[in-house]
């Protein structure tokens, strides 16, 4: 994959994660296929490019669609503004994480431990999501500032929902790391917006 493709894959995964977070917070449910793809990415570290982290382009189809839509319409709708806020916040937290090498190493070690400890369980098993949520809370969340999730209070008070949201925030950080590794930053969203939209549309059609 070229640099633009890698950027688009990483950004689309980030949009997909934040969209699922927003949906879960307001509706209490999620697209299990998208959630599975995102959670699986946390345990893959030996891929040659961004798409290798997610398995195949088809798994990010909804992310490509969301990227083209959000970057194309300036995100004026309320839910779009919320998703963009989450994206920018996760990019900021990724910058904070990059400055903390010890925490980065701790994350890798803990993720490997979770993977081996629950190798017999489905990746979306509540126990795994709970441990991923706890890992996010004890690491990324401690970097600050914390991301304030908006949604229906009944859902945000449900422990399993909170765990899933935190696990997806961790997956969002994973995507933000890939975005930065591929050369992306906040200015890229402005300066390369049209190119990213065109690439997202192209990749969406190829799925």
| Domains of the chain, start order | 3-206 (1.10.3890.10)
- CB-based contacts of 84: which residues, under 8 Å, 6+ apart? 70, 75
Supply the pLDDT for residue 76.
55
Supply the pLDDT for residue 53.
94
Supply the pLDDT for residue 75.
47
Supply the pLDDT for residue 28.
94
In this structure, are residues 38 and 44 in contact, taking their beta carbons and an 8 Å threshold? Answer: no
From first to last of its 207 residues, the chain has per-residue pLDDT tens of 788 999 999 999 999 999 999 999 999 999 999 999 999 999 998 888 888 999 899 999 999 999 999 998 754 565 688 999 999 999 999 999 999 999 999 999 999 999 999 999 999 999 999 999 999 999 999 997 899 999 999 999 999 999 999 999 999 999 999 999 999 988 888 889 999 999 999 999 998
Q: Closest by alpha carbon to 59, among 37, 39, 76, 82?
A: 37
Bond from prior residue into 60 cis (ω within 30 degrees of 0):
no
Q: Closest by alpha carbon to 27, among 167, 173, 164?
A: 164
Distance CA 42, CA 206 (A): 25
- What is the value of pTM for the model shown? 0.95
Q: How many CA atoms lie within 13 A of 134 on its CB side?
A: 9
Please count the residues of the chain. Answer: 207
Supply the pLDDT for residue 185.
86
The token pair that represents 202 in the structure block: 């192209």
CA distances from 55 to 13, 43, 150, 205 (A): 12, 12, 31, 17
Distance CA 195, CA 165 (A): 30
Distance CA 154, CA 77 (A): 23
Supply the pLDDT for residue 180.
94
In this structure, are residues 167 and 126 in contact, taking their beta carbons and an 8 Å threshold? Answer: no
């Amino acid at each position: 994959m070229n640099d633009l493709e890698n950027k688009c894959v990483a950004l689309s995964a980030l949009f997909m994660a934040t969209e699922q977070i927003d949906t879960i917070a307001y509706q209490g449910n999620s697209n299990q296929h998208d959630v599975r793809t995102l959670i699986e990415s946390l345990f893959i570290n030996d891929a040659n490019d961004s798409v290798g982290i997610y398995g195949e382009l088809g798994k990010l189809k909804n992310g490509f669609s969301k990227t083209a839509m959000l970057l194309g319409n300036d995100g004026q709708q309320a839910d779009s503004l919320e998703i963009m806020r989450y994206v920018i916040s996760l990019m900021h937290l990724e910058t904070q994480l990059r400055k903390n090498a010890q925490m980065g190493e701790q994350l890798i070690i803990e993720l490997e431990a979770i993977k081996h400890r629950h190798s017999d369980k489905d990746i979306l098993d509540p126990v795994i999501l709970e441990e991923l949520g706890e890992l996010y809370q004890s690491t990324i969340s401690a970097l600050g500032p914390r991301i304030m999730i908006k949604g229906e209070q009944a859902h945000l008070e449900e422990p399993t929902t909170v765990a899933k949201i935190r696990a997806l925030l961790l997956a969002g950080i994973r995507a933000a790391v890939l975005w930065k590794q591929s050369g992306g930053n906040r200015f890229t969203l402005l300066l390369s917006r049209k190119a990213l939209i065109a690439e997202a549309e192209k990749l969406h059609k190829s799925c």
